Amino acid sequence: MAHLELRLLGSFQATLGDQPVEGLNSNHLRALLAFLAVESSREHPREQVAALLWPERSDQAALSALRFALSNLREALGDRRSTGDRRTVGEPPSRLPYLLLTRTQVQFNPASDHWLDLAVFEHLRAQPEAQSLE
């Protein structure tokens, strides 16, 4: 898989390799990707993610919309191996899926080959030099 770059500070931008990610044409898809990438340290129950993104819909309709959105997101990312199978020890990040999906949970794979501007910002903000500037 290609290297994924996500820029969330300022205008949303997502690139795979050097090309913009095609198919992220709805606010819900962009919000889903951004949320999962920023909150990648843990799994998220599907019901909670669905309610977060589609609060005006019934539980069943929101879950259906989430399944559709995850399918579209997997396609846009070229992420065919987005199972919850965590047996990835020794695999290079470029071969790992971006999404870890089970029937009940969703998670952005923190070990995948990606770069997130917000993570860089948070890392730099936590540096001692940055704290001395405050």
Q: What is the pLDDT of residues 12-60, one digit of tens each?
A: 999 999 899 999 999 999 999 999 999 999 999 999 999 999 999 999 9
Q: What percent of the chain has pLDDT over 90?
A: 71
What are the backbone angles phi and psi of residue 4, rounded to the nearest 5°?
-100, 130
pLDDT the model gives residue 115: 94
Cα angle: 81, vertex 45, 108; to 5 degrees: 40
Neighbours of 86 (CB within 10 A): 10
**79: helix, strand or coil:** coil
Q: How far is CA 121 from the centre of its chain?
A: 17
Structure token pair of residue 14 = 């997502």
Lowest mean pLDDT among 3-17, 60-74, 88-102: 88-102
pLDDT the model gives residue 33: 97
Lowest mean pLDDT among 58-62, 107-111, 123-127: 123-127
Q: What is the pLDDT of residues 27-39, one digit of tens each?
A: 999 999 999 999 9
Which residue ranges form the domains of the chain, and what is each CATH number? 4-132 (1.10.10.10)
Return the beta strands (E) in 18-116 as ranges: 19-20, 44-45, 99-101, 105-108, 114-116
